[in-house]
Amino acid sequence: MNFVKRRGCVFVFLMFFCTVFFLINSVVFAEEVGEIMQEEDKLPKQLRAVVLSAHEVENEEKEYSGGILEVKTQLLEVKILEGAHKGEIIKAQNSLNSFNDAYNITISKGQEVFVYINEGMDGTIESAYVAEIVRDKYILYLLIAFILSMLVVGRMKGFKALISLAITFFAVIYIMLPLFLKGYNPIIVSVPICVGVIVITLLLVSGVNKKSFAAIIGTAGGVIIAGVIAILMGYVTNMTGLGSEEAQMLQFTPLDIKLNFKGLLFAGILIGAMGAIMDVGISIASSLTEVAAARDDISTKDLIKSGMNVGRDILGSMSNTLILAYTSASIPLLLLTMAYKVSFIEMINWEVVASEIVRALSSSIGLVITVPLTAVAAATLLNKKSVEIDKDRGCGVNDGN
Protein backbone atom coordinates (compact mmCIF):
# COMPACT_ATOMS: atom_id res chain seq x y z
CA MET A 1 0.00 0.00 0.00
CA ASN A 2 1.48 3.34 -1.00
CA PHE A 3 1.50 6.40 1.19
CA VAL A 4 -1.48 8.01 -0.53
CA LYS A 5 -3.65 5.03 0.38
CA ARG A 6 -2.35 5.04 3.93
CA ARG A 7 -3.12 8.74 4.08
CA GLY A 8 -6.71 8.03 3.05
CA CYS A 9 -7.06 5.42 5.79
CA VAL A 10 -5.73 7.84 8.36
CA PHE A 11 -8.16 10.51 7.14
CA VAL A 12 -11.09 8.11 7.53
CA PHE A 13 -9.88 7.22 11.04
CA LEU A 14 -9.62 10.90 11.89
CA MET A 15 -13.17 11.57 10.75
CA PHE A 16 -14.41 8.59 12.79
CA PHE A 17 -12.53 9.83 15.84
CA CYS A 18 -14.01 13.32 15.45
CA THR A 19 -17.51 11.85 15.13
CA VAL A 20 -17.12 9.79 18.32
CA PHE A 21 -15.58 12.82 20.02
CA PHE A 22 -18.57 15.04 19.37
CA LEU A 23 -21.10 12.30 20.14
CA ILE A 24 -19.54 11.80 23.56
CA ASN A 25 -19.40 15.56 23.98
CA SER A 26 -23.10 15.90 23.13
CA VAL A 27 -24.16 13.12 25.53
CA VAL A 28 -22.11 14.45 28.44
CA PHE A 29 -23.19 18.02 27.77
CA ALA A 30 -26.87 17.00 27.63
CA GLU A 31 -26.55 15.16 30.93
CA GLU A 32 -24.88 18.13 32.57
CA VAL A 33 -27.55 20.53 31.28
CA GLY A 34 -30.26 18.23 32.64
CA GLU A 35 -28.63 18.15 36.05
CA ILE A 36 -28.24 21.92 36.08
CA MET A 37 -31.90 22.43 35.12
CA GLN A 38 -32.99 20.17 37.96
CA GLU A 39 -31.05 22.27 40.46
CA GLU A 40 -31.95 25.64 38.93
CA ASP A 41 -35.05 26.30 41.02
CA LYS A 42 -33.13 25.70 44.24
CA LEU A 43 -30.66 28.53 43.63
CA PRO A 44 -31.18 32.31 43.77
CA LYS A 45 -31.40 33.83 40.32
CA GLN A 46 -28.47 35.86 39.04
CA LEU A 47 -29.34 38.62 36.58
CA ARG A 48 -27.42 41.32 34.74
CA ALA A 49 -28.25 44.88 35.79
CA VAL A 50 -26.98 48.44 35.37
CA VAL A 51 -26.47 50.78 38.34
CA LEU A 52 -28.66 53.89 38.15
CA SER A 53 -27.52 55.40 41.43
CA ALA A 54 -25.08 54.45 44.17
CA HIS A 55 -25.01 55.79 47.73
CA GLU A 56 -22.01 56.14 49.99
CA VAL A 57 -20.86 53.12 51.98
CA GLU A 58 -22.63 52.90 55.33
CA ASN A 59 -20.86 51.56 58.40
CA GLU A 60 -22.84 49.84 61.14
CA GLU A 61 -21.61 48.13 64.27
CA LYS A 62 -23.34 44.96 65.40
CA GLU A 63 -22.72 42.89 68.48
CA TYR A 64 -22.06 39.19 68.21
CA SER A 65 -20.67 36.49 70.50
CA GLY A 66 -17.06 37.39 69.74
CA GLY A 67 -17.43 41.14 70.20
CA ILE A 68 -18.28 44.01 67.85
CA LEU A 69 -18.58 43.44 64.09
CA GLU A 70 -18.45 46.35 61.68
CA VAL A 71 -20.87 45.84 58.78
CA LYS A 72 -20.29 47.84 55.58
CA THR A 73 -23.10 48.14 53.05
CA GLN A 74 -23.63 50.21 49.92
CA LEU A 75 -27.20 50.83 48.78
CA LEU A 76 -27.82 50.82 45.04
CA GLU A 77 -30.64 51.43 42.61
CA VAL A 78 -30.32 49.11 39.62
CA LYS A 79 -32.22 48.35 36.43
CA ILE A 80 -32.60 44.68 35.46
CA LEU A 81 -31.39 44.03 31.90
CA GLU A 82 -32.55 40.45 31.32
CA GLY A 83 -35.01 37.76 32.28
CA ALA A 84 -38.63 38.03 33.35
CA HIS A 85 -37.87 41.16 35.38
CA LYS A 86 -36.21 42.99 32.49
CA GLY A 87 -36.71 46.76 32.77
CA GLU A 88 -37.63 46.72 36.47
CA ILE A 89 -35.86 49.19 38.75
CA ILE A 90 -35.10 47.76 42.18
CA LYS A 91 -33.06 48.40 45.30
CA ALA A 92 -29.95 46.26 45.82
CA GLN A 93 -27.22 45.97 48.43
CA ASN A 94 -23.48 45.74 47.90
CA SER A 95 -22.11 44.04 51.02
CA LEU A 96 -18.44 44.77 51.71
CA ASN A 97 -15.89 42.73 53.62
CA SER A 98 -15.47 44.13 57.10
CA PHE A 99 -12.16 42.39 57.76
CA ASN A 100 -10.14 43.15 54.63
CA ASP A 101 -10.74 46.20 52.45
CA ALA A 102 -8.51 44.73 49.73
CA TYR A 103 -11.44 42.54 48.61
CA ASN A 104 -13.97 45.39 48.55
CA ILE A 105 -15.12 47.09 45.38
CA THR A 106 -17.26 50.19 45.69
CA ILE A 107 -19.86 50.30 42.93
CA SER A 108 -20.42 53.53 40.98
CA LYS A 109 -23.21 54.81 38.76
CA GLY A 110 -23.26 53.38 35.23
CA GLN A 111 -21.47 50.14 36.08
CA GLU A 112 -22.97 46.81 35.05
CA VAL A 113 -23.26 44.21 37.78
CA PHE A 114 -24.72 40.77 38.40
CA VAL A 115 -27.32 40.72 41.17
CA TYR A 116 -28.80 37.79 43.04
CA ILE A 117 -32.54 38.21 43.50
CA ASN A 118 -34.90 36.52 45.92
CA GLU A 119 -38.48 36.25 44.70
CA GLY A 120 -41.66 36.02 46.74
CA MET A 121 -44.49 33.57 46.18
CA ASP A 122 -46.11 35.96 43.70
CA GLY A 123 -42.90 36.26 41.64
CA THR A 124 -42.02 39.79 42.76
CA ILE A 125 -38.49 40.65 43.85
CA GLU A 126 -38.22 40.81 47.63
CA SER A 127 -34.49 41.50 47.95
CA ALA A 128 -31.37 41.74 45.82
CA TYR A 129 -27.67 41.99 46.39
CA VAL A 130 -24.62 42.38 44.17
CA ALA A 131 -22.95 39.10 43.23
CA GLU A 132 -20.17 40.34 40.95
CA ILE A 133 -19.15 43.11 38.58
CA VAL A 134 -19.74 42.40 34.88
CA ARG A 135 -16.42 41.59 33.22
CA ASP A 136 -17.46 39.20 30.47
CA LYS A 137 -17.95 41.82 27.76
CA TYR A 138 -14.40 43.11 28.19
CA ILE A 139 -13.10 39.54 28.07
CA LEU A 140 -15.13 39.13 24.87
CA TYR A 141 -13.42 42.19 23.36
CA LEU A 142 -10.04 40.68 24.21
CA LEU A 143 -11.11 37.35 22.68
CA ILE A 144 -12.17 39.10 19.46
CA ALA A 145 -8.81 40.88 19.29
CA PHE A 146 -7.04 37.54 19.72
CA ILE A 147 -9.09 35.88 16.96
CA LEU A 148 -8.53 38.78 14.56
CA SER A 149 -4.79 38.80 15.20
CA MET A 150 -4.63 35.04 14.57
CA LEU A 151 -6.55 35.39 11.30
CA VAL A 152 -4.63 38.44 10.04
CA VAL A 153 -1.16 37.09 10.82
CA GLY A 154 -1.74 33.35 10.58
CA ARG A 155 -4.27 33.32 7.71
CA MET A 156 -5.39 29.73 7.04
CA LYS A 157 -2.89 28.35 9.56
CA GLY A 158 -4.29 30.75 12.14
CA PHE A 159 -7.83 29.66 11.33
CA LYS A 160 -6.88 26.01 11.77
CA ALA A 161 -5.16 26.86 15.05
CA LEU A 162 -8.37 28.51 16.29
CA ILE A 163 -10.36 25.41 15.36
CA SER A 164 -7.93 23.18 17.26
CA LEU A 165 -8.09 25.54 20.25
CA ALA A 166 -11.89 25.31 20.25
CA ILE A 167 -11.70 21.50 20.11
CA THR A 168 -9.27 21.49 23.06
CA PHE A 169 -11.58 23.78 25.04
CA PHE A 170 -14.63 21.60 24.49
CA ALA A 171 -12.67 18.41 25.19
CA VAL A 172 -11.56 19.75 28.58
CA ILE A 173 -14.74 21.59 29.63
CA TYR A 174 -17.44 19.29 28.28
CA ILE A 175 -15.78 15.87 28.39
CA MET A 176 -12.85 15.71 30.80
CA LEU A 177 -14.17 17.80 33.71
CA PRO A 178 -17.75 16.37 33.68
CA LEU A 179 -16.30 12.85 33.70
CA PHE A 180 -14.14 13.81 36.69
CA LEU A 181 -17.25 15.03 38.52
CA LYS A 182 -18.99 11.75 37.76
CA GLY A 183 -16.22 9.87 39.60
CA TYR A 184 -14.20 8.49 36.69
CA ASN A 185 -10.48 7.97 37.31
CA PRO A 186 -8.69 11.15 36.14
CA ILE A 187 -5.69 9.15 34.93
CA ILE A 188 -7.77 6.86 32.72
CA VAL A 189 -9.80 9.79 31.38
CA SER A 190 -7.08 12.39 30.81
CA VAL A 191 -4.56 10.27 28.89
CA PRO A 192 -6.79 9.33 25.91
CA ILE A 193 -8.36 12.78 25.79
CA CYS A 194 -4.97 14.53 25.76
CA VAL A 195 -3.63 12.14 23.12
CA GLY A 196 -6.79 12.66 21.07
CA VAL A 197 -6.42 16.43 21.27
CA ILE A 198 -2.78 16.14 20.20
CA VAL A 199 -3.70 13.98 17.19
CA ILE A 200 -6.54 16.23 16.05
CA THR A 201 -4.60 19.46 16.59
CA LEU A 202 -1.45 18.41 14.75
CA LEU A 203 -3.30 16.80 11.83
CA LEU A 204 -5.59 19.80 11.54
CA VAL A 205 -2.86 22.44 11.70
CA SER A 206 -0.10 20.66 9.76
CA GLY A 207 -2.10 18.34 7.52
CA VAL A 208 -2.18 14.56 7.18
CA ASN A 209 1.49 13.87 6.43
CA LYS A 210 4.65 12.33 7.82
CA LYS A 211 5.65 15.53 9.57
CA SER A 212 2.43 15.45 11.61
CA PHE A 213 2.79 11.74 12.38
CA ALA A 214 6.31 12.29 13.70
CA ALA A 215 5.18 15.21 15.83
CA ILE A 216 2.28 13.15 17.19
CA ILE A 217 4.60 10.31 18.22
CA GLY A 218 7.05 12.65 19.94
CA THR A 219 4.42 14.83 21.60
CA ALA A 220 2.22 12.01 22.86
CA GLY A 221 5.27 10.19 24.21
CA GLY A 222 6.58 13.29 25.97
CA VAL A 223 3.20 14.12 27.55
CA ILE A 224 2.68 10.56 28.80
CA ILE A 225 6.21 10.40 30.23
CA ALA A 226 5.63 13.70 32.04
CA GLY A 227 2.46 12.24 33.55
CA VAL A 228 4.15 9.01 34.60
CA ILE A 229 6.93 10.94 36.33
CA ALA A 230 4.35 13.06 38.10
CA ILE A 231 2.52 9.95 39.35
CA LEU A 232 5.74 8.41 40.66
CA MET A 233 6.78 11.64 42.37
CA GLY A 234 3.34 12.06 43.88
CA TYR A 235 3.61 8.53 45.29
CA VAL A 236 7.11 8.80 46.78
CA THR A 237 6.45 12.28 48.22
CA ASN A 238 3.03 11.29 49.62
CA MET A 239 1.21 14.14 47.91
CA THR A 240 -2.52 14.23 48.57
CA GLY A 241 -3.44 16.57 45.71
CA LEU A 242 -5.01 18.91 48.28
CA GLY A 243 -2.26 21.50 48.30
CA SER A 244 -4.42 24.30 46.88
CA GLU A 245 -7.41 26.00 48.48
CA GLU A 246 -9.57 25.13 45.49
CA ALA A 247 -8.83 21.42 45.87
CA GLN A 248 -9.66 21.60 49.57
CA MET A 249 -12.96 23.32 48.81
CA LEU A 250 -13.85 20.50 46.39
CA GLN A 251 -14.04 18.16 49.37
CA PHE A 252 -17.09 20.02 50.63
CA THR A 253 -19.10 20.13 47.40
CA PRO A 254 -22.45 18.26 47.48
CA LEU A 255 -21.23 15.36 45.34
CA ASP A 256 -22.12 11.72 45.81
CA ILE A 257 -18.70 10.56 44.61
CA LYS A 258 -15.22 10.66 46.09
CA LEU A 259 -12.83 12.62 43.91
CA ASN A 260 -9.33 11.26 43.21
CA PHE A 261 -7.25 14.32 44.04
CA LYS A 262 -3.94 12.65 43.19
CA GLY A 263 -5.40 11.85 39.79
CA LEU A 264 -6.54 15.46 39.38
CA LEU A 265 -2.97 16.59 40.02
CA PHE A 266 -1.81 14.18 37.30
CA ALA A 267 -4.43 15.47 34.84
CA GLY A 268 -3.44 19.07 35.51
CA ILE A 269 0.19 18.26 34.73
CA LEU A 270 -0.80 16.61 31.44
CA ILE A 271 -2.86 19.60 30.34
CA GLY A 272 -0.22 22.11 31.44
CA ALA A 273 2.57 20.29 29.61
CA MET A 274 0.66 19.50 26.43
CA GLY A 275 0.92 22.90 24.74
CA ALA A 276 4.65 23.44 25.17
CA ILE A 277 5.51 19.83 24.32
CA MET A 278 3.35 19.98 21.20
CA ASP A 279 5.22 23.11 20.12
CA VAL A 280 8.57 21.35 20.48
CA GLY A 281 7.36 18.26 18.62
CA ILE A 282 6.03 20.09 15.56
CA SER A 283 9.06 22.42 15.45
CA ILE A 284 11.51 19.51 15.25
CA ALA A 285 9.35 17.54 12.80
CA SER A 286 8.94 20.57 10.56
CA SER A 287 12.68 21.32 10.58
CA LEU A 288 13.59 17.75 9.65
CA THR A 289 10.99 17.74 6.89
CA GLU A 290 12.72 20.70 5.27
CA VAL A 291 16.16 19.12 5.72
CA ALA A 292 15.01 15.86 4.14
CA ALA A 293 13.41 17.71 1.23
CA ALA A 294 16.62 19.69 0.58
CA ARG A 295 19.02 16.73 0.83
CA ASP A 296 18.02 13.61 -1.04
CA ASP A 297 20.99 11.58 0.13
CA ILE A 298 20.84 12.30 3.85
CA SER A 299 20.90 9.24 6.11
CA THR A 300 18.61 8.45 9.00
CA LYS A 301 21.52 8.94 11.41
CA ASP A 302 22.26 12.42 10.07
CA LEU A 303 18.57 13.36 10.22
CA ILE A 304 18.43 12.30 13.86
CA LYS A 305 21.55 14.34 14.56
CA SER A 306 19.99 17.39 12.90
CA GLY A 307 16.82 16.91 14.93
CA MET A 308 18.76 16.71 18.16
CA ASN A 309 20.64 19.91 17.31
CA VAL A 310 17.38 21.73 16.61
CA GLY A 311 15.87 20.32 19.81
CA ARG A 312 18.78 21.49 21.94
CA ASP A 313 18.30 25.03 20.65
CA ILE A 314 14.61 24.89 21.55
CA LEU A 315 14.98 23.33 25.00
CA GLY A 316 16.40 26.36 26.76
CA SER A 317 13.58 28.74 25.92
CA MET A 318 10.78 26.20 26.23
CA SER A 319 11.95 24.95 29.63
CA ASN A 320 12.03 28.55 30.79
CA THR A 321 8.49 28.97 29.45
CA LEU A 322 7.18 26.12 31.59
CA ILE A 323 9.11 27.06 34.73
CA LEU A 324 8.11 30.74 34.46
CA ALA A 325 4.47 29.87 33.77
CA TYR A 326 4.22 27.90 37.01
CA THR A 327 6.29 30.45 38.94
CA SER A 328 4.10 33.35 37.83
CA ALA A 329 1.06 31.71 39.43
CA SER A 330 2.96 31.37 42.72
CA ILE A 331 4.29 34.93 43.09
CA PRO A 332 1.98 35.87 46.03
CA LEU A 333 3.00 32.67 47.85
CA LEU A 334 6.70 33.31 47.22
CA LEU A 335 6.38 36.88 48.50
CA LEU A 336 4.56 35.60 51.58
CA THR A 337 7.36 33.18 52.42
CA MET A 338 9.97 35.92 51.95
CA ALA A 339 8.01 38.37 54.10
CA TYR A 340 7.89 35.86 56.95
CA LYS A 341 11.48 34.74 56.36
CA VAL A 342 10.57 31.10 55.77
CA SER A 343 13.62 29.00 54.91
CA PHE A 344 13.93 27.51 51.42
CA ILE A 345 14.04 23.93 52.75
CA GLU A 346 10.92 24.47 54.82
CA MET A 347 9.10 26.09 51.89
CA ILE A 348 9.75 23.34 49.31
CA ASN A 349 8.39 20.75 51.74
CA TRP A 350 4.98 22.42 51.79
CA GLU A 351 2.68 20.44 49.53
CA VAL A 352 1.36 23.55 47.80
CA VAL A 353 4.94 24.42 46.76
CA ALA A 354 6.15 20.87 46.19
CA SER A 355 3.23 20.13 43.86
CA GLU A 356 4.09 23.14 41.69
CA ILE A 357 7.74 22.07 41.57
CA VAL A 358 6.68 18.57 40.52
CA ARG A 359 4.41 20.07 37.84
CA ALA A 360 7.19 22.23 36.42
CA LEU A 361 9.96 19.64 36.51
CA SER A 362 7.83 16.73 35.28
CA SER A 363 6.62 18.84 32.35
CA SER A 364 10.19 19.92 31.60
CA ILE A 365 11.42 16.30 31.60
CA GLY A 366 8.59 15.40 29.23
CA LEU A 367 9.70 18.31 27.06
CA VAL A 368 13.28 17.01 27.00
CA ILE A 369 12.20 13.45 26.13
CA THR A 370 10.07 14.79 23.27
CA VAL A 371 13.21 15.90 21.43
CA PRO A 372 14.79 12.47 20.80
CA LEU A 373 11.39 10.81 20.33
CA THR A 374 10.39 13.27 17.61
CA ALA A 375 13.85 13.26 16.01
CA VAL A 376 13.90 9.46 15.70
CA ALA A 377 10.30 9.28 14.49
CA ALA A 378 10.76 12.04 11.92
CA ALA A 379 14.08 10.65 10.65
CA THR A 380 12.60 7.17 10.24
CA LEU A 381 9.53 8.43 8.38
CA LEU A 382 11.31 11.01 6.22
CA ASN A 383 14.48 9.17 5.19
CA LYS A 384 14.31 8.72 1.40
CA LYS A 385 16.33 5.55 1.56
CA SER A 386 13.40 3.79 3.24
CA VAL A 387 10.36 5.76 2.13
CA GLU A 388 9.58 8.41 -0.43
CA ILE A 389 9.44 11.92 1.01
CA ASP A 390 5.99 13.45 1.10
CA LYS A 391 6.54 16.27 -1.38
CA ASP A 392 3.37 18.22 -0.85
CA ARG A 393 3.51 17.98 3.00
CA GLY A 394 -0.05 19.16 3.21
CA CYS A 395 -2.39 16.64 1.57
CA GLY A 396 -2.45 18.77 -1.57
CA VAL A 397 -4.19 21.66 0.22
CA ASN A 398 -2.86 25.18 0.17
CA ASP A 399 -2.16 26.01 3.81
CA GLY A 400 -2.21 29.72 3.13
CA ASN A 401 1.34 30.47 4.26
Decide if 395 is inside a domain: no
One-letter amino acid for residue 340 of the chain: Y
DSSP letter for 253, please: S
* Average pLDDT score over the chain: 76
Domains identified in the chain, total number: 2
pLDDT for res 141: 92
Judge if 174 and 288 occupy the same domain.
yes
Judge if 165 and 87 occupy the same domain.
no
Judge if 99 and 233 occupy the same domain.
no
Judge if 161 and 118 occupy the same domain.
no
Query: Which segments within 217-328 are labelled E, that is strand?
Result: none
Judge if 117 and 207 occupy the same domain.
no
pLDDT for res 23: 46
Query: What is the number of other CB atoms lying within 10 angstroms of the CB of residue 173?
Result: 13
Whole-number Cα distances in Å, 10 to 3, 160, 165, 285: 10, 19, 21, 18
d(CA 247, CA 401): 44
Decide if 142 is inside a domain: no
Which residues are CB-neighbours of 29 under 8 A, at least 6 positions away? 174, 178
Residue of 364, 365, 371 lying closest to 326 (CA atoms) = 364
Give 302-331 pLDDT, tens digit per residue: 888 888 888 888 877 777 777 777 777 778
Give 128-138 pLDDT, tens digit per residue: 888 888 888 88
Give 192-245 pLDDT, tens digit per residue: 888 888 888 888 878 788 888 888 889 888 888 888 888 888 788 887 777 677
**Residue 119: exposure state from Cβ atoms within 10 A (0-12, 13-18, ≥19):** middle
Judge if 221 and 359 occupy the same domain.
yes
Judge if 22 and 95 occupy the same domain.
no
Q: Where residue 106 sits, what CATH number does that domain have?
A: 2.40.50
Give 369-399 pLDDT, tens digit per residue: 998 999 888 888 877 544 444 444 444 333 4
**Residue 335: exposure state from Cβ atoms within 10 A (0-12, 13-18, ≥19):** exposed
pLDDT for res 56: 74
Judge if 365 and 325 occupy the same domain.
yes
Query: Which segments within 55-184 are labelled E, that is strand?
Result: 58-64, 67-80, 89-96, 112-119, 125-133
> Backbone dihedral region of 363: left (phi > 0), alpha (psi from -120 to 50 degrees) or beta?
alpha
200: domain range? Answer: 3-31+156-382
% of the chain beyond a pLDDT of 70? 77
Q: CB of 391 within 8 A of CB of 328?
A: no
Residue 66 main-chain phi, psi, to 5 deg: -90, -5
Residue of 222, 221, 218, 226 lying closest to 379 (CA atoms) = 218
Judge if 178 and 77 occupy the same domain.
no
Decide if 352 is inside a domain: yes
d(CA 148, CA 140): 12
Query: Which segments within 4-111 are labelled E, that is strand?
Result: 45-54, 58-64, 67-80, 89-96
Residue 256 main-chain phi, psi, to 5 deg: -90, 5
Judge if 185 and 56 occupy the same domain.
no
Decide if 232 is inside a domain: yes
% of the chain beyond a pLDDT of 90? 3
Q: Could you write out the DSSP letters of every residue in 289-357?
A: HHHHHH-TT--HHHHHHHHHHHHHHHHHHHHHHHHHHHHHTTHHHHHHHHHTT--HHHHHTSHHHHHHH
Residue 101 main-chain phi, psi, to 5 deg: -70, -15
Which residues are CB-neighbours of 293 under 8 A, at least 6 positions away? 389, 391, 393
Decide if 285 is inside a domain: yes
pLDDT for res 11: 47
Residue 12's pLDDT band (cuts 50, 70, 90): very low
d(CA 309, CA 75): 65
Higher pLDDT, residue 13 or 259: 259
d(CA 166, CA 143): 12
Judge if 58 and 26 occupy the same domain.
no
pLDDT for res 274: 83
Judge if 82 and 211 occupy the same domain.
no
Which residues are CB-neighbours of 50 under 8 A, at least 6 positions away? 78, 79, 81, 110, 111, 112, 113
pTM of the model: 0.70
pLDDT for res 391: 44
Residue 371 main-chain phi, psi, to 5 deg: -60, -60
CA dihedral 157, 159, 161, 167 (to 10 degrees): -150
Decide if 148 is inside a domain: no
What is the torsional sign of CA 363, 365, 371, 372? negative
Is a pLDDT exceeding 60 seen at residue 165?
yes
Residue 146's pLDDT band (cuts 50, 70, 90): very high
Residue 148's pLDDT band (cuts 50, 70, 90): very high
Decide if 398 is inside a domain: no
d(CA 258, CA 251): 8
Decide if 140 is inside a domain: no
Query: What is the number of other CB atoms lying within 10 angstroms of the CB of residue 210?
Result: 23
Bridge pairing between strands 67-80 and 45-54 = antiparallel
Give 54-82 pLDDT, tens digit per residue: 887 767 666 665 566 667 787 888 898 88
